[in-house]
Amino acid sequence: MEMFLSNSLKSTSMKITPRCFGCFLNQAIEVCTIAHADMEMQNRVIKSVCGILGSASLDVTPPEISNDVHRVIRETLGVHDPYAAIKRTYNENALKYYHNSKILIEKSDSPLEMAIRFSIAGNVIDFGCEHTFDLDETLSRMHTWNIPKDTLSLFAQQLATAKSLLFLADNCGEVVFDRLLIEHITSEYGIGPITFAIKGGPWINDAMYEDVEMAGITKLSSVRILNIDTGVPNTGIARQSPEFDMLLKQYDVVISKGQANWEMLSDKKNIFFLLMIKCTEIARELGRDIGEAVFFTKG
C-alpha cells in the first residue's frame, strides 16, 4: 500500500466512537493476560474499566478516555507498568536494525526521505491496536511507499530555516527508528536542542525515559527530554491543555508520531504527522486502509 498525503484530510480532532469501547475492553483483557491475572482479577479489571466507560464523555478524543482506562487497569492489578518487560524486548529487537538502517539512510539519494520511511515504519510497533503487527514485513515494503514530494519539499524547507524542533514520540522500539531521523536532522540541518516528548508515566507501550535511554536518544547532545501527561498527576504537560497549545507555538517545526497524537492534534496547523494506520476508526476518518502509512501536514 502507498503512503498518502492530502492536506484535505479530516482536520478536526477525532472523537470517541462505539467501536472504541470494544477496543478498550480488548486492551484490558490483553493487559490481564500479560500480567498473568487469574479469572477473579480479570473480572475485577473488566468491571473497573466498564465503570470508566459508563461515565465517559462522548465529546472527547479516544486517548483521553484511554488514559483513565489504563490507569484503572494498573490500579486494579496493582502493577505500575504491565508492559515493562515487553517494552524492553522490543527496544532490544529494534536496536538490532539500527546500524544497517543508518547505513541505508547515509547511502540513500534522499537521506531525509529514507529517514522518514524508517521512522514511520517503526510506528507499526503498537500494542494498543486491534490488529497485529509485523516489523520485518513493514520494513521490507517501506521502500515501495510513495512519499509525497510536495510535503517532503516543504518539510526540508522548514528544517533548513528552523532553529527549534519539537518531536512528539509514540512507542517503545519505534523510538530507535526516530533516533535515525533525529540524527539526520541534527547532522544535516544543525537544529538543536531538539525537544523529544515522551510519556511521563506508563501508558500501554508508549515510550518512557527508560525506553529512550535504551534507544540511545538520551545520549544525544542535541536532544532534551520533555514529559507528556498520562492522566496521572505529575506525569507531564497535558496535550489537551492551553499550556500545550502554547508549547506548540514555541517551535519552528513540530513532528507528531503515531495515532494517538493524531487523534488529539489533527485540528492543529503546522504539524507534520507521521503514522501507520492500525485502527478501523482512524482508517475511516482518513479515508484510507488498515496498514497504510501517512505523512501530511495542515498548513
Averaged pLDDT of the chain: 91
**Is pLDDT of 181 > 50?**
yes
CA distance 280 to 282: 6
Is residue 34 domain-shared with residue 161, that is, in the same domain? no
- Give the distance from CA 132 to its chain's centroid: 16
Is residue 266 domain-shared with residue 224, that is, in the same domain? yes
Q: How much of the chain exceeds pLDDT 90, in percent?
A: 75
| Three-class secondary structure of residue 254 per DSSP | strand
Contacts of 212 (CB under 8 A, 6+ apart): 169, 175, 196, 198, 218, 225
Is residue 96 classed exposed, middle or buried when 0-12, 13-18 and 19+ CB atoms within 10 A define those classes?
exposed
Give me the helices (H) in the chain, please: 18-34, 39-54, 62-77, 84-95, 98-107, 111-122, 135-141, 149-161, 174-189, 209-215, 242-249, 259-265, 280-286
Is residue 43 in a domain? yes
pLDDT at 58: 86
Is residue 257 in a domain? yes
Is residue 123 in a domain? yes
Is residue 146 domain-shared with residue 263, that is, in the same domain? yes
Question: What is the pLDDT confidence band of residue 1, given thresholds at 50, 70 and 90?
Answer: very low
Question: What is the pLDDT confidence band of residue 267, given thresholds at 50, 70 and 90?
Answer: confident
Is residue 204 domain-shared with residue 146, that is, in the same domain? yes
Is residue 35 domain-shared with residue 64, that is, in the same domain? yes
- Domain range enclosing 111: 84-297
- Give the distance from CA 153 to its chain's centroid: 23
Domain boundary among 27, 52, 77: 77
pLDDT at 4: 38
Is residue 10 in a domain? no
CA distance 207 to 199: 6
Report, as an integer, the average pLDDT of 57-61: 87
Domain boundary among 56, 77, 98: 77
Is residue 104 domain-shared with residue 222, that is, in the same domain? yes
Question: What is the pLDDT confidence band of residue 192, given thresholds at 50, 70 and 90?
Answer: confident
Residue type, 11: S
**Is pLDDT of 8 > 70?**
no
Q: What long-range pairs does 101-104 form, CB within 8 A, spacing at least 24?
A: 101/177, 101/180, 102/180, 102/183
Range with the poorest average pLDDT among 81-85, 215-219, 277-281: 277-281
Is residue 130 domain-shared with residue 221, that is, in the same domain? yes
Structure letter (DSSP) for residue 237: B
Q: Which of 206, 217, 213, 297 is nearest to 255 (CA)?
A: 297
Is residue 61 in a domain? yes
Is residue 119 domain-shared with residue 204, that is, in the same domain? yes
Are the C-beta atoms of residues 223 and 233 closer than 8 Å to each other?
no
Count of structural domains within the chain: 2
Report, as an integer, the average pLDDT of 209-231: 96
Is residue 127 in a domain? yes
pLDDT at 7: 39
Q: Which residue has the cell 547532522?
A: 187
| Three-class secondary structure of residue 6 per DSSP | coil
Report, as an integer, the average pLDDT of 100-120: 97
Is residue 89 domain-shared with residue 73, that is, in the same domain? no
Is residue 228 domain-shared with residue 98, that is, in the same domain? yes
- For the record, the C-alpha cell of 120 comes out as 514511520
pLDDT at 75: 96
Range with the poorest average pLDDT among 80-89, 192-201, 283-292: 283-292
